[in-house]
Amino acid sequence: MRPILAALALLAILLAEACGEDETAAAPPPVALTQDAIGHYCGMALVEHDGPKGQILLRGSDRPVWFSSARDTIAFTMLSEESKAIRAVYVSDMAKAESSTRPGATNWVEARSAHFVLGSDRRGGMGAEEAVPFSDKAAAERFAAEHGGRVLAFAEVPRDWTLGDGGTAPGAPGQPAAPPAPPPAGSPRHAH
């Protein structure tokens, strides 16, 4: 009986190590956008829509899940009914885009390290308010200064804005700016 228990314990350790290696494996690279890319939610060809796009690579599949907007890409990660076997989340890098409407087929940034401009005057591929992504924070800030909105990290993009109608994003045209973040503990407040 002991040899069987020892074998099972060894098998459990090996399986745990194998799973751990899979979790820490490097993310696969993004896939170039082609004419065949069809949006997960809209069922339409992505190349027919302007603005930033997205793709999510899932474990167990070499084919990306495509999105006609960066906002839809973020929404996928928030929805409980969507797969959580996410290996990588890529959005168009508008800092390297051909133009504000044509992001390019190979300009991608990992969404979880991107900077998003919410509340700008730019719309996404399906005409809704967009989370315009940038790999470079300074480029995102320049875009926000020119087109309105504010810069947020992936984790800061509000769930209700992403899954709602988009009209209530802080800093959106016609919407009040979000209150400033409180100063760090122990720092003095300065009047402006």
Task: Kindly report, residue by residue over 19-42, the tens digit of the pLDDT.
Answer: 443 444 688 999 999 999 999 999
pLDDT of residue 110: 98
- Boundaries of every domain in the chain: 28-163
**Sheet of strand 86-92: strand arrangement:** 65-67, 54-58, 86-92, 108-110
pLDDT of residue 192: 34
pLDDT of residue 191: 36
Query: Consecutive sets of 10 residues in the chain, 192 residues long: mean pLDDT of each?
Result: 50 45 70 95 91 96 95 96 97 92 93 97 83 97 96 97 63 36 38 35
Quote the tokens at residue 89: 């989340």
